[in-house]
Chains A and B, each alone.
Chain A
Amino acid sequence: MNEAIIKLSAQGLNLWFGNKHVLKNVSVTFPEKQVTALIGPSGCGKSTLLRCFNRMHDLSPDARIEGKIMLENEDLYDKKISVTEVRKRVGMVFQKANPFPKSIYENINYGLKINDIPSKERPAIIERALKESYLWEEVKDELKKPATRMSGGQQQRLCIARTVALRPEVILMDEPCSALDPISTRKVEELIVQLKKQYTIVIVTHNMQQAQRIADQTIFMYLGEVVEEGRTDDIFNHPQKDLTKNYVSGHFG
């Protein structure tokens, strides 16, 4: 992991929901322009960890966070940096496709608009984002159509297009394929592999095969702690710890 630049990292991160200690002293690093998979059984805190990186917990009044999250050399929880800037630089794709109840075009345009990107630059950015998400050929003639009438897989790729349109530095993905059929899943996976040329990607997944297909690094979490992290191949084929070995071979989870 030493050869790559560390784009995003968490240092000594602890998170509580009320009295419940959900993340316990988590320290992880994400190398630039690589795909890192977060795996672990349900409730191990992987989605919670993911949502720390774009400050999605800010609006939950009972969430308390200690520790540092660094985007290169900047502390994302520093008072000098605004939460909207963090979310522009660290984009997020959700488990269930959640396009805005607007047209396909407006879905991408909205993020540009509220981030004050001049309106004459927007059409080109929207076209580029749709091309990067391999959606352009499918939708170029019906950009005015409501996004909610697209198929599930197209909706999820639209959500990815909406995210890349803002040129983020990091893209967080929270089980983006869990609601998709195998064909749509394969398209999204191919897309992720293409996107890593430009973006640092962190993906939460329950699907072991998916992690092995697309991730360069894998982090295994259990009960709020990082058990093991390393190259995907090592985690799946030569795990150092018995817990990891049991999980990746399907003995529990």
Chain B
Amino acid sequence: MMKRLSPVIEWFTLLFCTGTVLSFLIAILWDLTAKGWPSLSWQFITELPSEGMTKGGILPAITGTVMLTLLTAVLAVPLGISCAIYLNEYAKDNWLTRLIRASIRNLSGVPSIIYGLFGLALFVQGMHMGTSMLAAGFTLGLLSLPYIISTTEEALRRIPASTREAALAVGATQFESIRDVVLPSALPGILTGVVLTLSRAAGETAPILFTGVAFYINGSSGYLNQEFMALPYHLYMLSTQHQAIEQVRPLAYGTALVLVMVVFFLNLTAFYIRYKYRNNE
């Protein structure tokens, strides 16, 4: 009797756990959409805020977040991928590389507020960048590096040795085999990791708090040497720091919805890239 019943119990337990997790996710998205949707309009995403944030749109916050994410990508992606290639393809396996690898893994566990303080000390003050888009971009870049390195290394490790040997056997140098065969094969995995990391960076508040984000700037954001507005910080301010919290609540929900949509769009890109490469293989 027990033998026949246990698969049903197992199946039901797992279904229950999955259902619980899903229900939270659906509740959040539902709540966000229901309360944020009315504030969404063409004006909301194309206009500057006005009348002490109680009216108008969030355009500077959108451009600020998009620009900041692009800057983070430009700074962290080439460096992170190169670092992973070195660690996985060239570096000898000894205590030093093991230490480096462990440090990188530990870095991805460091709270993001610590990155914010580090960025303040190094980029804003030490390197005299001031509170600016550049300083914030560098800080977010640092935050993203460990994730990019780890996911890229993981993607490279999945390429079998026989693929590398195939290139070497026709006379390719080690560099040529990596450039022409290993990297293209690992590209879907690398890009997925990069996009997921960037979509996480786009939603970070703490690292940009001290390094460049502003509650309100007059005009558009996006200049490297100036402060900027960003969606996550805007949301934080509207929901906790504003003098008329009740009045701006719909705008806060609208901002949250836009932020979720930006991140969702980035994830969709990763999904699409993966799908496309799978079909090409």
Seen from chain A, the residues whose Cβ lies within 8 Å of a Cβ on chain B are: 54, 56, 59, 61, 84-85, 87-88, 91-92, 94, 96, 98-101, 110-111, 114-115, 146, 148, 159, 162-163, 166
Q: Are the C-beta atoms of B280 and A146 separated by less than 8 Å?
A: yes
Q: Is B246 an interface residue (CB 8 A)?
A: no
Contact A87/B169 with A59-B174, A148-B281 known, Cβ cut-off 8 Å: yes
**Chain A residues with CB under 8 A of B173:** 84
| A84 CA / B172 CA spacing, docked (Å) | 6
How many residue pairs link A and B with beta carbons under 8 A? The number is 63
Assess the A94–B162 pair: CB atoms within 8 A. Answer: yes
Residues of chain A with a CB closer than 8 A to B167's CB: 100, 110
| A146 CB to nearest chain B CB (Å) | 6
Jot down 10 A-B pairs with beta carbons below 8 A, ordered by A.
A87-B170, A88-B171, A94-B165, A98-B160, A98-B162, A98-B165, A101-B184, A110-B180, A111-B171, A166-B171
Chain A min CB distance to B120 (Å)? 43
Instruction: List A contacts of B170 (CB < 8 A).
Output: 87-88, 91, 110-111, 114-115, 162-163, 166
Contact B185 A114 (CB under 8 A): no
User: A146–B180 Cα gap in the complex (Å)?
Assistant: 16
Question: Which residues of A have CB within 8 Å of B181?
Answer: 100-101
Q: How far is the CA of A100 from the CA of B280 in the complex (A)?
A: 13
Q: Does B55 contact A (CB under 8 A)?
A: no
- The minimal Cβ–Cβ distance linking B163 to chain A, given in whole angstroms, is 6
Q: Are A114 and B166 in contact (CB under 8 A)?
A: no
A146 and B171: CB pair below 8 A?
A: no
Q: Are A98 and B281 CB-contacts (below 8 A) given A111-B171, A166-B171?
A: no
Residues of B within 8 A of A163 (CB): 169-170
* Chain B residues near A84 (CB-CB < 8 A): 171-173
Q: How far is the CA of A56 from the CA of B170 in the complex (A)?
A: 11
Which residues B170-192 have CB closer than 8 A to chain A?
A: 170-174, 176, 180-181, 184-185
